Structure 1
């Protein structure tokens, strides 16, 4: 691996420059940062690609709604990302659409692109016939979903109960501080100040996968571990040690 390019997600609290500095200190490749991928490479055809990648139902493998109004929504979401939300996209379809927009001279596997996205992505589970939200989709480019960090790994059951109760009483989602005080367990929520630190490990996973062919680490306290529940995310990404002994040899400072 010769180079890694990260792309900012300005509508989120994820700091791509801080992630890049952290990664640059741990890998041999040169690391750079560019502005938001969808702003740099967005066009009307990309909007249609997002419309085609929309998940229509949690239990329906087929995706896509390319009615004019939906495509127009996707165009507005590319131009004004703060207006987007509430949609899940097929992560592999999004990855293909973004790959088509990489500069031809930068498509080799020696140059990893990592767009931080403000969209929720998922992959289809053949084992249970439903869509599953994901934090990232590995490959070229490696798609890292910032809202996926909050939504994909499962939170404690009490979290969802408190969320529903608050919605019934006030008509909206409870503030982060309320949930943290009322729900036992560790988890990340939207705009969590720990987002940047957690995202670092997922970006490293993307690098590690393309550089070595290895997906994830089985050690629950390693940055390269990919847990399915929020307490596991906190343990892997926000607690010491950063790496298991094997990966510490490769990525320690």
Structure 2
């Protein structure tokens, strides 16, 4: 049984860990403590963690092998740890990142009774054996349970109109248009980088981590539920930002 949940801030992002924690306190079982700490990678980083992130780098969307430990890559990861606002454009193996963070949990806090949920400013993914490619993810369930803030914008697919406009502009200009242009001109339900709805949308993904350790259930198969894991942005908006918050099955516990 989970007795404590600790969230970790991602100060370079739009995510408000304190607001998520306050919402979570109203959903978890009585007696479960919820607290917030600073950035995980600032609190518990050591001299080896840059190499761990270098090894977790996804090299190609269609290659299972990960990792590049060239000196320049390790130096990049060291700089990204010190100045996270300068990092970006890299996808990491979410399970490898989860393992690296798990190795650095404080002594006596690694049991399943104390869930750790680091909000990360990194993009994580998992390998799909079914189609032989990497897929970006918003969260990785388990202990700890990293939640990728940029993954909220990048992992779920955007509306079809977004990709059609992207192709049209690429044909006209000879290259893909800036993301900001597409986001401002394409109508539809999708989240964008630094979206003011980020904190509200992340609440359900954090609750999913608690729900998984507490019940063993990964995701809800119904679309209109905070515990759902939609693969498209309109589904994320429906699940995380619209009423009702939970399906009939989970409303009794969390509603």
TM-score bracket for this pair, using the shorter chain length: over 0.9
**3-state SS in 1 of match to 2:126:** strand
Quote the residue 2:217 is aligned against: 214
Query: Quick one: distance in 2 between partners of 1:239 and 1:190?
Result: 20
TM-score (normalised: structure 2)? 0.93
State the Cα deviation string for residues 160-217 of structure 1 (Å, max 9, x = none): 34346389499862537x634x323210011111000000000000100011101111
Q: Deviation at 1:43?
A: 2.1
RMSD: 1.8
Q: Deviation at 1:157?
A: 2.6
Query: Quick one: distance in 2 between partners of 1:185 and 1:195?
Result: 16
Structure 1 residues 239-248 or 164-173, which shifts more? 164-173
**Unaligned stretches of 5+ residues in structure 1:** none
Q: Does 1:129 align with 2:118?
A: no
Quote the residue 1:20 is aligned against: 21
**3-state SS in 1 of match to 2:116:** strand
Quote the residue 2:7 is aligned against: 6
Q: Is the 8 A contact 2:183 2:192 kept in 1?
A: no
One of 153, 157, 160 as aligned partner of 1:154: 157
Quote the residue 1:173 is aligned against: 178
Quote the residue 1:50 is aligned against: 53
Q: Deviation at 1:26?
A: 1.1
Query: Quick one: distance in 2 between partners of 1:179 and 1:75?
Result: 32
- The structure 1 segments of at least 4 consecutive aligned residues displaced by more than 4 Å after TM superposition are 166-172
Q: Is the 8 A contact 1:163 1:173 kept in 2?
A: no
Cα distance, 1:184–1:18 mapped onto 2, change above 3 Å = same
**Unaligned stretches of 5+ residues in structure 2:** none
Counterparts of 1:82-97 in structure 2, within 5 Å, are: 82-97=85-100
